[in-house]
Structure 1
Amino acid sequence: MALVALVNAKGSPGTTTTALVLALQWPRPVLLVEADLAGSSILAGYFRGQLAHDRGLSRLALAHSHGDLEGSLWAQTLPLAEGSQDKKLLPGITGPHVAPAVANLWAALANQLLALERGGMDVLVDLGRIGPVGGGATREDREPILRLADQVLVTTGSRLPDIAVTRELVRARTSVVDAAARDLTNLSALTVGPGRPYQASEIASTLGLASVGAIAWDPVNAEVLAVGAPPGRRWSGSALVRSAAPIIDAVTERIEQRRARFATGEEN
């Protein structure tokens, strides 16, 4: 595996919580990149504002402007889990007003993140809400990450408004119409809170994407990741945590299948 991005459409929640639980349960060394242009929420939430926002994308963009992206990457990260060097976080920007300052970073960063696979490090990128493909003021500057990612997990709630805006996002980004094309696209559907009222399989079918499963609707335990609430005794066995492993397995399988298809020339 290499590079996995998580995205959402306007008004569809749960992407950062999903990215965090996947990273914490990831079975291999992993770097979580907080690349939401709305601004960082992990330092203030999961870390409860106890860490200074003195590392991250803004300083990395400055290093890149001086030609030192590769040499500065790890200095801008911090441990995601206490005592673990196998799980790292690259914090995001402080807010949307800083987004123009990192606009020139994305292409170089995408290639740098992709190269980490050679060193045995997988990468999860929380892109948050993404924009359209076209040019102009609404151009999606983070397109290089979306294009190079082995999988782009389109997260959506299971209620009709969430599904509706997510379907429009998928339509804007792909013209996939048949099963063979769905197997080759790097887009997959990931449902947050299935059964409220629609199931992950129904949602994926509506979106025209393959499904990698669903993160359980578990508001109490989600508070651990969203606002740094103390984990209870049953945290490790909670529905939220248990739902991560099948998704990781499904994502791994999707990547392996897609790479195998491209390797045998089936994209044609």
Structure 2
Amino acid sequence: MTFIAFASAKGSPGVTTLSLLTAALWPRTSILADADVTGGDIAYQMIGESGQPLNTDRGLMSLLPIARKSLDAAVVPQHAQTLLGGIDLLAGLPEPEQAQAVEKLWPTIGRAFATLTSHDVLADLGSLRMSSPHLQLAREAEALVFVMRPRSTQVMHMRSRLQKLRDAMPGATPRFGIVVVAPQSDRRNAEAAVASLGEDVLRFTDYLGHVAFDPKGASMFEGQVLNRPERTVLVRSAVPVIENIAALAGITLDAGQVAAALGGKPAKPLPGAPKPSRKQRRGSSAPEAPAGTPGHSTPGPGAPAPAGYPAPQQPPASAPGTPPQSDSRPGTPRSGMPEGRVASAAPEPTVEIPRRPVGSPGRGAAPQPGTEPAPTEPPQPPAPPADRPMTRRERRGR
């Protein structure tokens, strides 16, 4: 099918996050390969579909020895592990020395990725430079997507790196693209950073779009559970970018096909989505069934429409003069409350009113006829202790 690689010129601008997000929203059958030669991280920060840690010896560690003789592309899916959420992963190499030792095998791995007919391969290459041992792996990709931040230092490194890699990879493939990771409000700054690369670089590099810098949304790839992760700024900003990545690789997607994956088609939920309850797994019609869980093909309530961006639920309009009613559904943020939490209404304080015994008159009440009020005696001073002599004032009063 298609082999797409993700890389950076220097540092960690978000290559792994974009690779995981693309694999989670990819509408076709795919495998994510952790090919970062400085050491794979995905197998350590994600867990398997059974909730257990992943086997780091299964992936490239088990695939590279086979490549010493001959590697059939059909063998590649057999070395993948399924992550919680449905992503198939080829775990990376634990140490950078191992990637250097198998430098001659990377072209064989690249050809197997490019000729695989059952899956698309999305590879996280990490930092890519001219001296990288997996440079031959990048040559076999159909599209090479670079990630950077809108900073002057990264723009300078990216400009030099793209020019050198283009000279080292003549021909029509791989096609170069660039994605900028910046806050959602910095769209103009992201476009200005791409323009700073220069016309000579943009002649062979396509600008694929701007992905929002969202640490809260990216935490779902670090084991955090989010309420409706498809509504995060990270996911919504990545939908058009993923469509452009597919077009760069020569894949034509139907309108809204990537956005349809957010509603559970196919059944590959985002890793941060909460697990369904036992009643929901049995097919109950409970209104809180999360969309996109395995074996659940019907989108849950509040799920975005298949064609378009996910839109938040709007509260019903209230009549004039009536105070607006708050929405207490799970996952619906209230004013002043963080997303994913539900504000609980504090109970009003209750005041206990002391009640007089039955039959006892109240203050100022007149006595009942035929009854005489009890005589009242004047208050007596307290008696002094027996072991203390009386004072003169006490003797006079006595």
Q: What is the one-letter code of the residue matched to 1:125?
A: A
Deviations 1:198-252 (A, max 9, x none): 6333233223232111221111121221x2222x113111111112221121122
Alignment of 1:117-128 (within 5 A): 118-119=117-118, 121-128=119-126
SS in 1 for 2:37: coil
- C-alpha separation in 1, matches of 2:164 and 2:42: 29
Whether the 8 Å CA contact 1:158–1:198 is kept in 2: the answer is no
Whether the 8 Å CA contact 1:46–1:224 is kept in 2: the answer is no
Which residue of structure 1 aligns with residue 223 of structure 2?
228
Whether the 8 Å CA contact 1:12–1:162 is kept in 2: the answer is no
Q: Does 1:192 align with 2:184?
A: no
Which residue of structure 1 aligns with residue 97 of structure 2?
97
Q: Does 1:59 align with 2:62?
A: yes
Whether the 8 Å CA contact 1:60–1:76 is kept in 2: the answer is yes
Q: What is the one-letter code of the residue matched to 2:54?
A: L
SS in 2 for 1:10: coil
- TM-score scaled by structure 1? 0.79
Between the aligned residues of both structures, percent identity stands at 27
Whether the 8 Å CA contact 1:25–1:244 is kept in 2: the answer is no
Q: Does 1:50 align with 2:44?
A: no
Query: Deviation at 1:68?
Result: 4.6
Deviations 1:12-34 (A, max 9, x none): 42100110011001111111110
Q: What is the one-letter code of the residue matched to 2:209?
A: G
Structure showing greater Rg:
2
Query: Deviation at 1:143?
Result: 2.7
Deviations 1:99-123 (A, max 9, x none): 123322211111111112x33x211
Q: What is the one-letter code of the residue matched to 2:228?
A: R
Bigger fraction of residues in strand: 1
Compared CA separation, residues 73 and 224, structure 1 to 2 (3 A): same
Whether the 8 Å CA contact 1:58–1:101 is kept in 2: the answer is no
- C-alpha separation in 2, matches of 1:154 and 1:96: 21
Whether the 8 Å CA contact 1:57–1:102 is kept in 2: the answer is no
- C-alpha separation in 1, matches of 2:115 and 2:189: 36
Q: Does 1:160 align with 2:149?
A: no
SS in 2 for 1:28: coil
After superposing on structure 2, the runs of 4+ consecutive aligned residues of structure 1 that deviate more than 4 Å are 194-198
Which residue of structure 2 aligns with residue 246 of structure 1?
240
- TM-score scaled by structure 2? 0.55
- C-alpha separation in 1, matches of 2:26 and 2:98: 30
Segment drifting more, 52-61 vs 23-32: 52-61
Compared CA separation, residues 19 and 81, structure 1 to 2 (3 A): same
Whether the 8 Å CA contact 2:4–2:145 is kept in 1: the answer is yes
Which residue of structure 2 aligns with residue 79 of structure 1?
82
Unaligned runs of 5+ in 1: 133-137, 176-180, 258-268
- C-alpha separation in 2, matches of 1:210 and 1:64: 33
Which residue of structure 1 aligns with residue 135 of structure 2?
143
- C-alpha separation in 2, matches of 1:147 and 1:66: 21
Unaligned runs of 5+ in 2: 252-398
Deviations 1:187-206 (A, max 9, x none): 11111125558633323322
Compared CA separation, residues 256 and 51, structure 1 to 2 (3 A): closer
Q: What is the one-letter code of the residue matched to 1:255?
A: A
- C-alpha separation in 2, matches of 1:68 and 1:242: 38
Query: Deviation at 1:3?
Result: 1.2
Aligned alpha-carbon RMSD (Å) = 2.6
Q: Does 1:215 align with 2:205?
A: no
Higher relative contact order (CA 8 A, sep 6+): 1
Q: What is the one-letter code of the residue matched to 1:159?
A: R
Q: What is the one-letter code of the residue matched to 2:210?
A: A
SS in 2 for 1:6: strand
Which residue of structure 1 aligns with residue 294 of structure 2?
none
